[in-house]
Amino acid sequence: MSLALLFAGQGAQKVGMGKSLYENSAAARALYDEANSVLGWDLKKISFEGPDAELTQTKVCQPALFVHGLALLAALKEKGDAGIADAKYALGLSLGEITALTAAGVFDFATGLRVVAERGRLMQMACEATHGSMAAIIGESRETVAALCAKFDLEAANFNCPGQIIISGEKQKIVDAVADAKANGIRKAMELNVAGAYHSRLMVPARDAFEKFLETIPFAAPQMTVFTNTTGKAVSAPADIRAALVKQVVSSVLWEDCLVSAQAAGATAFLELGPGGVLAGHVKRTNKEWPVTSKSEYADL
């Protein structure tokens, strides 16, 4: 078996995530304690106790999901899980790409955490400086969604799986596009409860500042095959990984393409390490024959 590890993106977070890992795994506990030290604020308390409004903030939930995913991985390794030794591929949705890169050895834990924390901080600033939103378009082709985006000057932010595409842009344009979609026979269109227009041109200020920040960060070659959201293909050269992380802030997340590429490269099973089981759902909707499991808390291990 050749295992592909999947790491969650923003929106998967929930209050209480990681608490059972902290209480039962010394390896996971060490990462949470280190995270508090690196960040200078109490990630553990917000992750384990909330409130939800605080955990949902972009600058908080991105590092919280990063630490949770790697704490799950550390706890599995600590238990001597045989399947983890077979992990040859790592991929993550949006911020989860940084978790995947850290799992693959591109960054050590502290460096990866600083990268994701700065990304979250900059993206939150961009959200607060603009008036953006996003919407899910369900059951339609990429061509249909592209036409809708062109009509309302919006961008396709996420291609999650067949028939699930997220669009992004200015708030009023999203509202107008959803109304138009419903009036013209699109099966399901719904605005999402998000803080801003992620993976769109409204994130350009975040991208530019993130690019400067990453110039100071050392990148190593990955020890697993990692797939980038920007192309859906494998990426290995440190300079290419850095460029992909910068571009990803404003470009479409080709998540379905990443899953297809991982399977084509030799992945025979997928393991989601994160809350909610959302990514496992994407795998099943991409190809119901692909084996996938999801682990979120200590009992799952």
Residue 261 to residue 264: CA distance in whole angstroms: 5
Say which residue the tokens 């084996």 belong to. 291
Among 3, 217, 12, smallest CA distance to 90 is for 3
Q: Is 2 an annotated catalytic residue? A: no
| Helix axes of 58-78 and 26-39: crossing angle, nearest 10 degrees | 150
Active-site residue (options: 68, 199, 200, 296) = 199
Active-site residue (options: 20, 25, 47, 94) = 94
Residue 64 to residue 113: CA distance in whole angstroms: 9
Q: Is 294 an annotated catalytic residue? A: no
β-bridge pairing 3-7 and 269-273: parallel
Please check whether residue 274 is in contact with residue 11, taking contact to mean a CB–CB distance below 8 angstroms: no
Residues contacting residue 140 through CB under 8 Å, at least 6 positions apart: 163, 165, 186, 187
- Cα dihedral 202, 207, 208, 213 in deg (nearest 10): 150
State residue 209 phi and psi, 5-degree precision: -70, -35
Taking the CB of residue 185, how many other CB atoms lie within 10 A of it?
A: 8
Would you call the peptide bond into 51 cis, given omega within 30 degrees of 0 as the criterion? yes
Q: So which residues are the catalytic ones?
A: 94, 199
